[in-house]
Amino acid sequence: MKKIIAIILSLVMVLGATAAVYAAAPADGTYQVAVTLQGGTGRTSVKSPCALTVSGGQMTAKVVWSSTNFTWMKVGGVTYNNENSGGNSTFTIPVSALDTPIDISAETTAMGTPHVIDYTLTFSSSGVTMKGEGGESSSSGSSSSGSPQTGGSQDSKPGNSQTDGNSQDDPADETGQDADGADQDADSSSITVKNTISKATSVSAETLAGYEGKTMSLSTANGQVDFDEKALASIVENSSGGITLTMNDLTEDKAYKDKDYGLVVELKVQDEDGKELFTEKGDGKAKVTLSYDGEVKDKDSLKVYRLNGEEEEEIEAVYDADEKTVTFETERFSVYAVAQQTGSMNIIIIVSVAVIAVIAAAAAVIIRRKRQSDRD
Residues 81, 208 within the same domain: no
Total domains, the chain: 3
Q: Note whether residue 161 is domain-resident.
A: no
Question: In angstroms, how far is CA 341 from the centroid of its own chain?
Answer: 32
Residues 209, 269 within the same domain: yes
Which phi and psi angles does 91 have, rounded to 5°? -140, 145
pLDDT at 292: 92
In the Cβ-directed half-sphere of 95, how many Cα atoms lie within 13 Å?
28
Q: Note whether residue 168 is domain-resident.
A: no
| Omega within 30 of 0 (cis) for the link into 94 | no
The CATH number that applies at residue 90 is 2.60.40.1850
H-state helical runs in the chain: 2-24, 205-208, 229-237, 343-375
**pLDDT tens sequence for the chain (376 residues):** 555 555 555 655 645 544 444 445 788 889 999 999 988 766 788 999 999 999 988 999 999 998 888 899 999 989 998 998 888 999 999 999 999 999 999 988 876 677 888 899 999 988 888 765 344 444 444 333 333 433 333 333 323 333 333 333 333 333 233 333 344 444 578 898 887 777 888 888 888 988 899 999 999 889 999 999 999 999 999 999 889 999 999 999 988 988 889 999 999 999 988 899 999 988 899 999 999 988 888 878 889 999 988 899 999 999 998 899 999 999 999 999 999 876 544 555 666 777 788 888 888 888 887 777 766 6
Residues 327, 232 within the same domain: yes
Residues 297, 370 within the same domain: no
Strand partners, 255: none
Residues 207, 293 within the same domain: yes
Residues 118, 232 within the same domain: no
Q: Note whether residue 182 is domain-resident.
A: no
Buried b vs exposed e over 296-331: b needs ≥16 C-beta within 10 Å? beeeeebbbbbbeeeebeeeebebeeeeebbbbebe
Q: Note whether residue 210 is domain-resident.
A: yes
Residues 312, 195 within the same domain: yes
* 293-348 pLDDT tens trace: 888 888 788 899 999 888 999 999 999 988 999 999 999 999 999 998 765 445 55
DSSP type of residue 231: H
Give the whole-angstrom CA distance, residue 43 versus residue 167: 10
Q: Note whether residue 205 is domain-resident.
A: yes
The contacts of residue 179 (CB under 8 Å, 6+ apart) are: 71, 195, 198, 200, 201, 202, 244
Give the whole-angstrom CA distance, residue 175 versus residue 218: 23
Residues 76, 99 within the same domain: yes
Query: Pick from 139, 169, 203: which residue ends a domain?
Result: 139
CB count in 10 Å sphere of residue 26? 22
Residues 58, 118 within the same domain: yes
In the Cβ-directed half-sphere of 188, how many Cα atoms lie within 13 Å?
15
Query: Pick from 99, 115, 139: which residue ends a domain?
Result: 139
Pairing, β 58-64 against β 70-75: unpaired
Q: Note whether residue 169 is domain-resident.
A: no
Residues 127, 227 within the same domain: no
Give the whole-angstrom CA distance, residue 142 versus residue 25: 17
Q: Note whether residue 346 is domain-resident.
A: no
CB count in 10 Å sphere of residue 333? 22
Q: Cα separations (Å) of 153 from 50, 163, 168, 349?
A: 11, 10, 21, 73
Amino acid at 8: I
Residues 16, 42 within the same domain: yes
The CATH number that applies at residue 302 is 2.60.220
Q: What is the pTM of this model?
A: 0.48
Which residue segment(s) compose the domain that 356 sits in? 351-376
The contacts of residue 368 (CB under 8 Å, 6+ apart) are: none
Q: Note whether residue 109 is domain-resident.
A: yes
Pairing, β 317-320 against β 200-203: unpaired
Strand partners, 226: 217, 287
Residues 310, 282 within the same domain: yes
